[in-house]
Amino acid sequence: MLRAVPEVSLIKFIRHSLEILKNPLPFHNRNFEKKGDIFKLNVGFNTKIFFCRDAGFAQYVLQKNQKNYVKSKIQTVDLVKYVGEGLLTSEGDKWKKQRKMMQPAFHKQKLKNLLSGMQETIAFQYQKISSNNTIDIFPVLNDLAFQTVVKSLFTKAAKSKDMERLQFITEANQRMLVRELRQPYLASWFKISGVLQKHLDLTKEARQILKTIVEERKLSGKRYDDLLDMLLETKYDDGFGMSEEQLIDEILIIFTAGHETTSNSLTFTFQLLAKHPEYQDSIYKEYLDLGADQSDLMLRISQSKICQQVIEESMRLYPPAYFIDRVNKETDTFNKMEFKPGSNLLFSIYEIHRHPNLWDNPNTFYPERFADKTKQYSAQYYPFGAGPRKCIGNNFAMFEMIIAVTELIKNYKIYADFDSIEITPLITLKPKNAFLKFEKR
């Protein structure tokens, strides 16, 4: 016997539209608390979205029956016009082909060659921090994450002016996409006014910058063992490599997904550490206990257990990809609820990571919960997604964040100059007013 999915009316959605535009999470939380872990939100006369915080359903869709599900048009259409059809936005055979080819480039042993460059870039960016002054740490960490991706991709081949422009375009286009998604009723105005075309022109400019870098690398004949070299050397089963257009799609996605999520996560991590200084002491002690020899960075990273637990707990409380979307190809049922083909499913990772039935003291910062227990939470912990489409850059991101946290804590004590951690939910979960004070050790 099938049961109906609880509904939230279009009238209620319209009534709260301004609140949703600013921050939709409280609205969704109230509906989850009232309607249960799966509810249907009417966002138009014929448009419904299923919001879910049922970890079992998420595991079913992302892993157990993933062949019946594809990403929604948000990624496969709306995002494509800004970043192209790469690993994040492609589907079907094209995605399988790209994933199989690119996976070796992101293997831990391949990434090992990038670690010293990561550390050098991070240490350089931290020179922007001055002691005994309060600063908003997010812009520093945003630049840090972007420059780390730049150096990992291009070593020293990229001109700083070009990279500044690329960073501007990446962030401007993300803000535009948020406007399109949250204000669909302005779609015609975006086109008529030229606002949309302006951003599409920015995308063309970004692609031209990257095309020039790729062509210069090919002509130079030099080898840097960076991500660009790895991507240029990858081959499909037929022995051919990526086309230039496909390569640029993948690079654009690495820039967009690679720096945004990392800078968000690092900011939330440092805010949490500022509020919980005992973990700063633990990370610093761990750094000292591991000794001064940093010749094997991979070994140090793998042994930085406390630092890793702090980052994992930070991403539980503030997952950068706080929603995962899927659409079913064929009718499916879960827990006696039926989902017709083409149902739009949005899994709230933010809610799953704070679900009181899944976590002890879910709103409490407690890194020890991840001490040798990561596998225990694998069915309810999705900071990098899950299943075949789990983020290919998860190891890259974790290595970068462990280095970034260690480098800062070994040099500074940090103090909070804010009352509570605030968020701005855009395409990713962004921090707000992350004001910290730094004291030299």
Instruction: Enumerate the domain spans of the chain.
Output: 53-440
C-alpha span between 182 and 264 (Å, rounded)? 21
Tokens 């804590």 label which residue? 409
Residue 373, pLDDT score: 66
* Contact by Cβ (8 Å): 399, 111: yes
C-alpha span between 370 and 322 (Å, rounded)? 20
The residues, ordered by sequence, that sit 6+ positions from 318 with a Cβ below 8 Å of its Cβ are: 264, 265, 268, 350, 421, 423, 429, 431
| Summary count for the chain: helices (H), strands (E) | 20, 13
Residue 193, pLDDT score: 93
Q: How many CB atoms lie within 10 A of CB 307?
A: 26
Residue 184, pLDDT score: 78
What DSSP element (H or E) covers 439?
A: strand 435-440
Q: Superfamily for 53-440? A: Cytochrome P450 (1.10.630.10)
- What would the two tokens of residue 130 be? 């001055």
* Contact by Cβ (8 Å): 385, 321: yes
* Contact by Cβ (8 Å): 20, 13: yes
pLDDT, tens only, 236-291: 888 888 999 999 999 988 888 888 899 999 999 999 999 999 999 999 999 999 98
> Does pLDDT of 296 surpass 70?
yes
Q: How many CB atoms lie within 10 A of CB 336?
A: 9
Residue 426, pLDDT score: 84
Proportion of the chain above pLDDT 70, given as a percent: 98
- What would the two tokens of residue 5 be? 């999915």
C-alpha span between 157 and 134 (Å, rounded)? 34
Helix/strand/coil for 430? strand
**Does this model's pTM top 0.95?**
no
C-alpha span between 288 and 282 (Å, rounded)? 10
Tokens 């230039």 label which residue? 244
Confidence of residue 316 (pLDDT cuts 50, 70, 90): very high
C-alpha span between 168 and 95 (Å, rounded)? 28
pLDDT, tens only, 329-350: 999 999 999 999 999 999 999 9
* Contact by Cβ (8 Å): 413, 439: yes
- What would the two tokens of residue 293 be? 């020899």
Burial label for 403, CB within 10 Å (0-12, 13-18, 19+), is buried
C-alpha span between 122 and 151 (Å, rounded)? 10
* Contact by Cβ (8 Å): 344, 69: no
pLDDT, tens only, 402-429: 999 999 999 999 999 999 999 998 888 9
Q: Summarize the confidence of residues 94-104 as an average pLDDT.
A: 90
Mean pLDDT of the chain: 91
* Contact by Cβ (8 Å): 47, 39: no
C-alpha span between 264 and 320 (Å, rounded)? 6
Residue 374, pLDDT score: 63
> Does pLDDT of 183 surpass 80?
no
C-alpha span between 62 and 91 (Å, rounded)? 14
Sign of CA dihedral 404, 431, 276, 413: positive
C-alpha span between 441 and 132 (Å, rounded)? 12
Confidence of residue 39 (pLDDT cuts 50, 70, 90): very high
> Does pLDDT of 69 surpass 70?
yes
What DSSP element (H or E) covers 271?
A: helix 244-275
Sign of CA dihedral 203, 204, 209, 214: positive
Q: Summarize the confidence of residues 166-183 as an average pLDDT.
A: 86
Instruction: Check residues 124 and 255 and name the one with the higher pLDDT.
Output: 124
Choose among 197, 201, 231, 199: nearest CA to 214: 231
Residue 13, pLDDT score: 86
Residue 125, pLDDT score: 92
Torsion of CA 211, 217, 220, 224, to 10 degrees: 170
Q: Within 13 A of 191's CA, how many CA atoms are on the CB side?
A: 4
Q: Within 13 A of 1's CA, how many CA atoms are on the CB side?
A: 0
Residue 157, pLDDT score: 66
Choose among 130, 111, 131: nearest CA to 119: 111
Confidence of residue 18 (pLDDT cuts 50, 70, 90): confident
